[in-house]
Amino acid sequence: MSIALRGVAKQFGEFAAVENIDLDVPTGALIALLGPSGCGKTTLLRIIAGLETPDEGQVLFDGRDATLWPIRDRNVGFVFQHYALFRHMSVFENVAFGLKVKPRRERPAPKEIQNKVRSLLELVQLGWAGDRYPAQLSGGQRQRVALARALAVDPDVLLLDEPFGALDSQVRHELRRWLRRLHDELHFTSIFVTHDQQEAIEVADTIVVLNRGRIEQSGAPGEVYDMPTSAFVHRFLGQVNELPVQMRGGRAYLGPIDISPAADHPPGAPDDIALIRPHEIEIGPEESGWPATVVAVRVIGPIVRLELCAEGQPPPERLEAEVSRERYEDERFGVGQKVGLRFRRWQVYSANGAAA
């Protein structure tokens, strides 16, 4: 089922949770709504689910106006961050719930319900846990039960509200990959909310970045990461270094580095800033670039993060650079060492955050 939002807006008292949202989710897509807390992503998901009614605008399901449909008629599966499993029911009963509450003429026979629940529990690798109670399961297992329960009613759309937010990083990683596989196998339309850019990039086909109730940018993960259209998106999708662009004699500089030749960057206004990701900083011998001192080295598995104090930079401001572990083993950067910096890529934004 395809979903479309047209000019959707919702206020809570004085607070505008979402404003004038237009969004198209094609059938079978897996979309991430990404943004900081308070950006309106959960409200948007709840509007699609029918848990909130928008003040303005329309929600279209397969082109039909579903704005006022009650949640039980929408055939959506909803998964909460804290699982919302029914504590007084066994895992089996939880998964069977959606089948057992169907009106009599639609309700499958008890035998069918049993088979369906069993196969769903197998699908989420919890075939052994049918008789357990939610309190006896770990967080990751509970979330898989919640998913199986949502899938039991064959939803057209699966909506997930920070589904892995309460889990530790190992389990998160596993569940993300598992959700992606499940989506590829079952082909339902999925929308999930997250504040974790890595999760969005790993799982989704399309990322919709939200900020203050509005869509900042949407696109494929690689596109949004590599070509952010605003400083907000650039900052939100990973680590960045921020440097003021200095204008000297009609040319633009970052420290001593002249960045004006780049044809796609117009000369720039005085308050422009450049954003550079840590892996876009190249480190060479001192005379090869902007002179800097290594002030801290941290080995993080396959990468090594260096904190650098560049010449002419006010002392509290540091640049963060990342080099591969192999490179680090070869060069042995140490604290206090003098190096030279060059920038492989950068993006200039005007003071209001728009791409320059």
User: Residue 27 forms beta bridges with which residues?
Assistant: none
Q: Which of residues 28-57 bind other proteins (CB under 8 A)?
A: 37-43, 49-51
- Residues 77, 50: Cα–Cα separation, whole Å: 11
**Could you please report the per-residue DSSP string of 102-123?**
S-TTTSPPHHHHHHHHHHHHHH
For position 163 contacting other proteins by CB under 8 A, the verdict is no
Q: Which of 78, 236, 343, 349 binds other proteins (CB under 8 A)?
A: 78
Nearer to other proteins, 76 or 341 (CB): 76
What Rg do the C-alpha atoms of the chain give, in angstroms?
A: 25
Type and span of the H or E element at 48: helix 41-49
**Residue 37 or 352: which CB sits closer to other proteins?**
37
Return d(Cα 161, Cα 283) in angstroms, integer: 41
Least Å from the CB of residue 304 to other proteins? 34
CA 71, 72, 76, 78 dihedral sign is positive
Shortest spacing between CB 329 and other proteins, in angstroms: 39
4 to 23: interface string for other proteins, x by CB under 8 A: --------x----x------
Check if the beta carbon of residue 41 is closer than 8 Å to that of residue 191. no
Q: How many CA atoms lie within 13 A of 313 on its CB side?
A: 20
Q: Please say which residue, 28 or 165, places its beta carbon nearer to other proteins.
A: 165
Structure tokens at 91: 């895992």
What is the DSSP track for 66-85? -TT--GGGT-EEEE-TT---
- Least distance in angstroms from the C-beta of 104 to other proteins: 12
Binding mask 94-133 for other proteins (x = CB under 8 A): ---xx--xx------------------------------x
What sign for the dihedral angle of Cα 300, 37, 192, 128? positive
Q: Considering only 150-158, 179-187, 270-278, 307-315, which stretch makes contact with other proteins by CB under 8 A?
A: 150-158
Residue 159 has, within 13 A of its CA and on its CB side, a CA count of 20
Binding status of residue 289 toward other proteins by CB under 8 A = no
Residue closer to other proteins by CB (options 39, 224) is 39
Site for other proteins contains 84 (CB under 8 A):
yes
Which residue lies nearer to other proteins by CB, 150 or 292? 150
Dmax of the chain from CA atoms?
A: 82
Looking up tokens 């999760």 gives 199
Stretch that binds other proteins, among 24-32, 86-94, 168-176, 230-238 (CB under 8 A): 86-94
Rounded distance, CA 203 to CA 176, Å?
Answer: 6
Q: How far is the CB of 140 from other proteins (least distance, A)?
A: 12
Interaction between residue 209 and other proteins (CB under 8 A): no
Q: Which residues bind other proteins (CB under 8 A)?
A: 12, 17, 37-43, 49-51, 70-72, 74-78, 80-84, 86-89, 97-98, 101-102, 133, 135, 139, 149-150, 152-153, 166, 193
